[in-house]
Chains A and B, each alone.
Chain A
Amino acid sequence: DAGITQSPRHKVTETGTPVTLRCHQTENHRYMYWYRQDPGHGLRLIHYSYGVKDTDKGEVSDGYSVSRSKTEDFLLTLESATSSQTSVYFCAISETGTVNTEAFFGQGTRLTVV
């Protein structure tokens, strides 16, 4: 299995509080991604990174920010959590982007905003 660790695995937070999710990889892969999974929507890309300090938005980036100061860590921050951000969040990594290769996923973080 690819070395991807997401933390925390579960979190309950209150509306309006900031939340940071962490993704840590030991594969030295260049690309890292944050997805959220919701019923009826599948997996939707929030943000991704193509190198240290290089990030870009995905299709559902509003309300989220990311940072990547080291190859191995990719942080997802909800600046002020809302109930609509209750979801399961997955981090993924890829060695060369997705050009004819697959991405590997972490175990997920279940976030509940109350």
Chain B
Amino acid sequence: DQQVKQNSPSLSVQEGRISILNCDYTNSMFDYFLWYKKYPAEGPTFLISISSIKDKNEDGRFTVFLNKSAKHLSLHIVPSQPGDSAVYFCAADNTDKLIFGTGTRLQVFP
């Protein structure tokens, strides 16, 4: 049973526009969420996180929103750049370990 879901396997966005990546989770006990970015042939790298006591966290072009009642989080990238093209994973903290979604491949085109 997938506890963290990313229902869009891919997303294509024009450079300069907003990218919105979505993630849903099923376990209401999750209280800390993270986004990782992964380039081909590299390990995932941490991007941004949010605690359940907040509904928004911002870091430069990246903002994560958390809607606890809907068990939904989203990552906004504004403006999108070609270097943002990668696979993005959301993850939930599950007592000393991270549970990951299946990933969304973002392509930013000129």
Contact = CB atoms under 8 A, between A and B. Distances in A.
A42 B49 contact: no
A45 B97 contact: yes
Contacts of B43: 4, 90, 92, 105-108
Interface stretch (B10-18, B58-66, B69-77, B99-107): B99-107
Interface residues of A, number: 27
Interface stretch (A65-73, A76-84, A95-103): A95-103
Where chain A touches its partner, the secondary structure class is: strand
Interface of A: 4, 31, 33, 35, 40-45, 48, 50, 58-59, 90, 92, 97-100, 102-108
Interface of B: 6, 32, 34, 36, 41-46, 49, 51, 89, 91, 93-103
